[in-house]
Amino acid sequence: MPLVFATPPISLATAHAFAAFFTISYVGSLYLSRTTRLSFKSGATVGARPGEGRAKESEERWRNDPDVIRARLIVVSTSTMLSMVSVYLLVRSVVPHSEIQKDSSAVLASTLSRLGITLDLSPRSLFLTILSCLVAPTLFLGPLYVDFLCGTLPFQRRWSVRGSLLPIVGTWMGVRNYVVGPITEEVVFRACMLSVYHLAGAPRKSMIALTPLAFGAAHLHHAWETYNRYGRTASAARVAIMTTLFQLAYTSLFGFHCAYLFLRTGSLLPPIASHIFCNIMGFPNYSLHVRMFPNRRRLIQLAYILGIAGYIYTMRSWTRADDSLFWPAPGQAARY
């Protein structure tokens, strides 16, 4: 259990300042150097049809170029470490000096616990953590059933290490999308941000509803890339706006899910696992799924409905922790 306070030790204004720093440093790090910035050639050839992406010019630097990905992974990892260090310094500044003298490691242990980085390997703790990680797969019961019909689930006939696993962990895009991206984003936008707002005494509902907006806003800069990739035309602007608004809505909704998981469990693992899983699955495409298997339409519909119902149930029943700092048991006084 970390060092706790009976009353919030920092103000909401301080928490807002830290949250702004976390967001700006994470996104801003992508544009600090020439190696991480994207470049687009003015007057590049437009796609053949309105709304169609154009071909990449040789001298351009796009988001999925391996050298761009490598450089960006380094800077966002550095930014994430700076955010964690800033939380440590904040915790150290509010812990009484007498407590530090008693145990010099207390501040570090308290910081890691507030960031959801726990080392409780007891069977019950492991069981509750694993249960929380299964909430997102429950919601995706419909898409998972379709994958089963396609034979693409792990160890089915159309699944293979080379064709299914290596694209996830064996390419720079895979490392970004399924490893470094989810981990760093959850550390910054969930662990660091929620921990400082909790220190400020922010209501749980506000933390769940509002902090994901920063996570969604952190994806808005993709609009510029989309606009350039589609040829800097009016049609490209429409594509960029619609794509970005959809991404803002989706990432914000997903942020609500992960913020709730983090606060309920006090652990960073369930949000990270959910983030990786959802990135792998992508956005559910119900209309495509029923077109692929028209004879299984009713079963696909049932799987989607059961997934939604199961998600509503498991979000409360499968996200428990015996002693979460962020979500005290009924009748237990709040701790900060």
Q: Which of 185, 186, 198, 275 is catalytic?
A: 185
Report how far residue 334's alpha carbon sits from residue 13's, in angstroms, rounded to the nearest whole number: 20
Q: Is 219 an active-site residue?
A: yes
- Helix ranges restricted to H, 153-296: 166-169, 172-175, 181-186, 193-199, 204-217, 222-229, 234-265, 269-281, 286-292
DSSP 8-state class, residue 301 = H
Please report, as a single letter, which amino acid is at residue 163: G
**Tokens 């400020």 correspond to what residue?**
200
Beta carbons of 24 and 203 less than 8 angstroms apart: no
Given 16, 219, 221, 222, which residue is catalytic? 219
In degrees, rounded to 5, the angle at the alpha carbon of residue 187 between the alpha carbons of residues 244 and 15 is 85
DSSP state for residue 39 in the 8-state scheme:
B
3-state SS of the chain: helix, strand, coil percent to 5?
65, 0, 30
Which residue's structure tokens are 């379709």? 146
Active-site positions read: 185, 219
